[in-house]
Amino acid sequence: MTRSKRILGVAGALLAVAGMTVLVGDVPAAQAARRDATCVGGVGDAATIQNAINTSNPGDEVVITGRCLITTTIKLLDERTYRGDARGDADGGGGTVLRQADGRNLPALLATETWVDNETWVSGGIRIEHLTLDGNRAANTGTVGLMLRTWDSRVYDVRVQHTPSDGIRLTSLSSDGTRLAERNNSVNGVIADSFIENSGGAGIRVVDPDNHITDWVLERSWISKSGGSGVDLDNAAGWQVRDLHVYESQAHAIDARRCYNAGIHDNYIEDFGLQGTAGSVYFGIRCTLQPGTPATFVGNKINYLYGTLPPASYVYLAVEGHSAGTSYAAVTGNALVGRGTARETGLRYALGAGTAITVASTGNLVAGMGTARSVGTGVTVSAGQ
């Protein structure tokens, strides 16, 4: 299926919501409807949800209510909205909660259809809102909370907690490892206003061995107590990562590779690298730059507030080259405060796998670091214009 067909399908669904009947090619668009799935906290809940989805049409809203016991991965069909009545809380009060049953070890609680069905194209037009996904990490292994292989989609006001693996994963690979066909890209999505906590893997993870997952916005969210990195992006091309609070990550707070016209702005980061393996290096923010286009790092606050700094090395903000060619970055107005040890570096600009890097670095506050700024060979640093 080509992306042009996906775009037409989304447009048809939107016009139907407005109360019109339109033609997309020779197929009339259906009127949007609400499909209800009411959970009772039993083993039949997953089937109840899946039946509501399977009997819905593009443009419909699937509304899930109650405390749901999830025994199989829920497959999300394209061009639909999935929402709860409100997010539930961590203590089991109020709202819609989808909780994995003991010992199920599902690959994911929710997953888009082209990931489940091992297609070579991406899903599209999906909205997920006002849900809590509980992976029940204490009694399961390997489970991702929300598995996305989609474009033009939105995730709002979602809480993902206690997942054995990543909280939210975006992937260009299907469930059996099928790669996307050329020009089938997972782009133009938003994850916002969400809370991801106590993940066994990363809070937000991008798996993209090719070059398909680009141009997303990740914003206004909280990522807490990740077993890996808070945000771990194989491909950060076109990504805008902003207004996050990332704290108590076992590995890095934000680790973004292949940055290309990327922006990492106004994030609040504290207490990263808690696993503290001696000889390892942990990053508050790291971005490896693709050549030819700029990346920007503005207004980030990075510090280590609590406890004793583990016996590892800590770099608060790092910019490195990713591949041959000249890369560009602007690093402006960041505030980095360390614990005053020789093992801490505030700003690090390193050539990495690049040929040359040009950095405009100005107006940054760096305090309490053994090394305030490290500049490697092949890196040109100026205050900019």
pLDDT tens for each residue of the chain, 385 residues long: 333 223 323 333 332 333 333 333 444 455 789 999 999 999 999 999 999 999 999 999 999 999 999 999 999 999 999 999 988 776 666 799 999 999 999 999 999 999 999 999 999 999 999 999 999 999 999 999 999 999 999 999 999 999 999 999 999 999 999 999 999 999 999 999 999 999 999 999 999 999 999 999 999 999 999 999 999 999 999 999 999 999 999 999 999 999 999 999 999 999 999 999 999 999 999 999 999 999 999 999 999 988 788 999 999 999 999 999 999 999 999 999 999 999 999 999 999 999 999 999 999 999 999 999 999 999 999 999 8
The number of domains in the chain is 1
Contacts of 157 (CB under 8 A, 6+ apart): 87, 129, 130, 193, 194
Spatial CA neighbour of 80 closest among 129, 44, 47, 122? 129
pLDDT at 211: 96
Q: How far apart are CA 89 and CA 96, in angstroms?
A: 9
> Is the torsion defined by CA of 324, 326, 332, 338 positive or negative?
positive
- 127 Cβ neighbours under 8 A, 6+ residues apart: 80, 81, 82, 83, 153, 154, 155, 156
Tell me 162's DSSP state.
S
What residues make up the domain containing 216?
A: 34-382
In this predicted structure, what is the pLDDT of residue 321?
94
Is the residue at 12 inside a domain?
no
In this prediction, residue 90 carries a pLDDT of: 60
* Distance between CA atoms of residues 361 and 376, nearest Å: 14
Per-residue pLDDT, 89: 72
DSSP 93: -
pLDDT at 281: 98
Q: Under a CB-based contact definition with an 8 Å cutoff, are residues 158 and 184 in contact?
A: no
DSSP of 194-219 = -EEES-SS-SEEEE-SSS-EES-EEE
* Inside any domain, residue 3: no
Q: Which residues of 164-177 are buried (b: 16+ CB within 10 A; e: fewer)?
A: bbbbbbbbbbbbee
Residue 68 belongs to some domain of the structure: yes
Q: Can you tell me the distance from the alpha carbon of 219 to that of 245, in angstroms, rounded to the nearest whole number?
A: 10
Q: Is there a domain that residue 268 lies in?
A: yes
Is 298 inside any structural domain? yes
Query: CA-to-CA distance for 48 and 43, rounded, in angstroms?
Result: 10
17 lies in some domain? no
* Of residues 306, 309, 325, the one with CA closest to residue 275: 309
Residue 353, in any domain of the structure = yes
CATH number at residue 305: 2.160.20.10
Q: Could you tell me the two tokens for 180? A: 């996307």
Q: What predicted TM-score, i.e. pTM, was given to this entire model?
A: 0.91
Relative to beta strand 23-24, strand 27-28 is antiparallel
Task: Give the DSSP H or E segment for 129.
Answer: strand 127-134
